[in-house]
């Protein structure tokens, strides 16, 4: 970041220096000296330590998909996004806007496009976490993304992410409202559920597999018992789970993530069809009682505070109606 100040008179420089020194004592707060202009910064605590960012970011590259809905809720149009990771609905304006650069994907990021967009802040992390060092060479890069390994778990770290983004963009009230909505939905879901057993499933590659590796983030703050523990990365890979294994476990409920729908896998049957056509499950409790919760089709590429709020509301409604 260029911290060079424009030329000013000796008296003006002295006054500016005094102001800067006074503000330096206030850790984590933005510099308030109007003469500092674009050099005003604040400190953000990230997964990679403290990062100095502009006090008022004007050109934001949003790469972490869990932040998309919050950035949009704050009324911000990013200068760059990974358009291939945008949910199919709700982001048509970003996808079609030529002024919004396509940052590629986390597997093949287009660093040149991000650089040419001239961001003054990059929201990285999550799928883009391994590219933080390269991105930081372009502009200040923050990783405040949620993590299942964070203290308190994924949902608590979602709240922290939202609060931090609210502080970065001066949208504290909006951030507080988003967190309050999540907490209310989480409480509803907790009150509606008990210790029912649940099969956390993922439709991937045209078949149903164990989705605990990703979906136990949902059940963690609730009283639900997972019928199967996470075994490797079955969200992306075939674990070889046999339908008969689930039938023998006979869980009370099933919660399904349709990854194929979110990624546009060609030729894959919808999760609803895969579940309804599975003969091994026709006598299970979750099929007989219609205790199947299908997560929103775009959940795999949202996973932010709004997505979890909607899912907790969905679970609360389903269990309350059972």
- What is the distance between the alpha carbons of residues 42 and 61, in angstroms, rounded to a whole number? 18
Q: Which of 68-82, 216-230, 234-248 has maximum average pLDDT?
A: 68-82
Maximum C-alpha span of the chain: 85
Q: Where residue 266 falls among pLDDT bands split at 50, 70, 90? A: low
Q: What's the pLDDT tens digit per position in 152-198?
A: 999 999 999 999 999 999 999 999 999 999 999 999 999 999 999 99
Nearest Cα residue to 161 out of 109, 124, 213, 191:
124
Q: What is the pTM of this model?
A: 0.85
* pLDDT for the residue 132: 97
- What is the distance between the alpha carbons of residues 40 and 51, in angstroms, rounded to a whole number? 13
* pLDDT for the residue 247: 97
At what angle are helices 305-321 and 172-192 packed, to 10 degrees? 30
* pLDDT for the residue 263: 82
Q: What's the pLDDT tens digit per position in 87-110?
A: 989 999 999 999 999 999 999 999
Is it the case that residue 232 has pLDDT exceeding 90?
Answer: no
* pLDDT for the residue 13: 34
* Mean pLDDT along residues 33-50: 78
> What architecture does CATH give domain 180-321?
3-Layer(aba) Sandwich (3.40)
Q: Where residue 2 falls among pLDDT bands split at 50, 70, 90? A: very low
Map tokens 């005003």 to a residue. Answer: 40
Is it the case that residue 270 has pLDDT exceeding 70?
Answer: yes
Is it the case that residue 296 has pLDDT exceeding 80?
Answer: yes
* pLDDT for the residue 231: 65
Residues spanned by CATH 3.40.50.1980 within the chain? 40-145, 180-321
- What is the distance between the alpha carbons of residues 147 and 173, in angstroms, rounded to a whole number? 24
Distance of CA 11 to the CA centre of its chain: 48
3-class DSSP assignment, residue 201: strand
The per-residue pLDDT of the chain, averaged, comes to: 87
Q: Where residue 269 falls among pLDDT bands split at 50, 70, 90? A: confident
Q: Which fold has domain 40-145?
A: Rossmann fold (3.40.50)
In percent, how much of the chain has pLDDT > 90?
78
* pLDDT for the residue 267: 61
Distance of CA 86 to the CA centre of its chain: 12
Q: b vs e for 266-279, b when ≥16 Cβ sit within 10 Å of the residue's Cβ?
A: eebbebeebbeebe
Q: Where residue 24 falls among pLDDT bands split at 50, 70, 90? A: very low
* pLDDT for the residue 21: 33
* pLDDT for the residue 237: 55
If one counts every other C-beta atom within 10 angstroms of the C-beta of residue 227, the result is: 22
Q: What's the pLDDT tens digit per position in 191-218?
A: 999 999 999 999 988 899 999 999 999 9
* pLDDT for the residue 262: 83
- What is the distance between the alpha carbons of residues 272 and 281, in angstroms, rounded to a whole number? 13
Q: What's the pLDDT tens digit per position in 7-18?
A: 333 333 333 433
């Amino acid at each position: 970041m260029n911290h060079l100040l424009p030329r000013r008179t000796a008296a003006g420089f002295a006054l500016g220096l005094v102001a800067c020194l006074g503000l330096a004592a206030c850790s984590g707060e933005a510099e308030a000296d109007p003469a500092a202009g674009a050099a005003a910064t604040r400190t953000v605590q990230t997964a990679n330590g403290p990062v100095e960012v502009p006090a008022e970011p004007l050109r934001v590259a949003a790469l972490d998909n869990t932040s998309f809905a919050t950035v949009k809720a704050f009324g911000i149009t990013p200068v760059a996004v990974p358009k291939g990771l945008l949910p199919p609905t709700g982001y048509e304006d970003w996808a079609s806007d030529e002024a919004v650069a396509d940052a590629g994907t986390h597997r093949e990021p287009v660093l040149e496009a991000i650089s040419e967009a001239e961001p003054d802040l990059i929201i990285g992390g999550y799928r883009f976490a391994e590219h933080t060092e390269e991105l930081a060479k372009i502009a200040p890069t923050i990783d405040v993304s949620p993590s299942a390994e964070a203290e308190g778990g994924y949902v608590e770290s979602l709240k922290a992410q939202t609060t931090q983004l609210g502080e970065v963009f001066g949208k504290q009230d909006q951030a507080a409202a988003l967190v309050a909505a999540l907490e209310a939905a989480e409480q509803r879901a907790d009150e509606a559920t008990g210790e029912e057993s649940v099969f956390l499933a993922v439709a991937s590659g045209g078949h149903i597999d164990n989705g605990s590796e990703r979906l136990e983030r949902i059940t963690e703050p609730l009283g639900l018992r997972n019928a199967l523990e996470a075994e490797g990365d079955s969200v992306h890979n075939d674990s070889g789970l046999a339908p008969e294994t689930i039938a023998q476990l006979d869980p009370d409920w099933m919660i399904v993530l349709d990854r194929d729908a979110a990624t546009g896998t060609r030729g894959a049957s919808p999760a609803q069809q895969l579940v309804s056509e599975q003969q091994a499950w026709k006598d299970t409790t979750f099929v007989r009682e219609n205790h199947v919760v299908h997560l929103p089709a775009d959940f795999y590429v949202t996973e932010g505070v709004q997505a979890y709020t909607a899912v907790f509301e969905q679970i609360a409604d389903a269990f309350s109606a059972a």
